Amino acid sequence: MDWGAVCEKSANLKKFQRLSRTGESMDQILKQLGDLIVGSIPTAILFILLVVAYRALLYGPLTRTLAERRERTQGAVEKAAAAIAAADAKSQEYEAKLRAARAEIFRHREQLIHQWNTERDHVLASARLAAQERVRAAEAALKQQAGEAHKQIEGSTEQLASQILQAILPPGVAPMESAR
């Protein structure tokens, strides 16, 4: 943009104002107006070129960069959301496996307890049978010993009776035979 043209336009504008005050003819006013318009054409062309250059050199690349940045940011947010969802799914899968493992351990523990209880019951039953057998054997031995003692007592009854009679009766009296 040329300063001389700007100054000339300014001077023309001042003339226009002066002429309109003085009442000059309409033709002169129109001529000056036409000169102003013709003088402003290069300025308008320069302005349009500046706008086009701004859009091509600054605005377009800036807009593309911002759009790309927005896409990258959005992509990172989506990737983060996907990673969070994947981590959540893995966490749920881990918890499910953990619950299954705990259930399996509990089931195995219950099975072992049942097996141990069964073994304990069998051992107790066999111990009970062995104790009952020993009791029967002891009872039989006691009965046999009692029977033998009873026979021994019956066998020695006659001898004891004669000894008692000899001790009680005077020495010359003979005991009577029992009538059995």
Encoded amino acid at 95, one letter? E
What does DSSP assign to residue 52?
Answer: H
Beta-carbon-side half-sphere exposure of residue 48 (alpha carbons within 13 Å)? 6
- In the predicted model, is pLDDT for residue 78 greater than 60? yes
- The Cα angle at residue 129 between residues 126 and 132, in degrees rounded to 5: 150
More confident residue, 178 or 130: 130
Residue 115 has what pLDDT? Answer: 95
pLDDT (tens digit, 9 = 90+) per residue, 103-142? 999 999 999 999 999 999 999 999 999 999 999 999 999 9
- In the predicted model, is pLDDT for residue 179 greater than 60? no
Q: Which of 6, 28, 3 has its CA nearest to residue 16?
A: 28
- pTM of this prediction? 0.39
Q: How far is CA 31 from the centre of its chain?
A: 89
Domain coordinates in residue numbering, the chain = 3-145
More confident residue, 71 or 17: 71
Tokens (6 digits) for 7: 């100054």
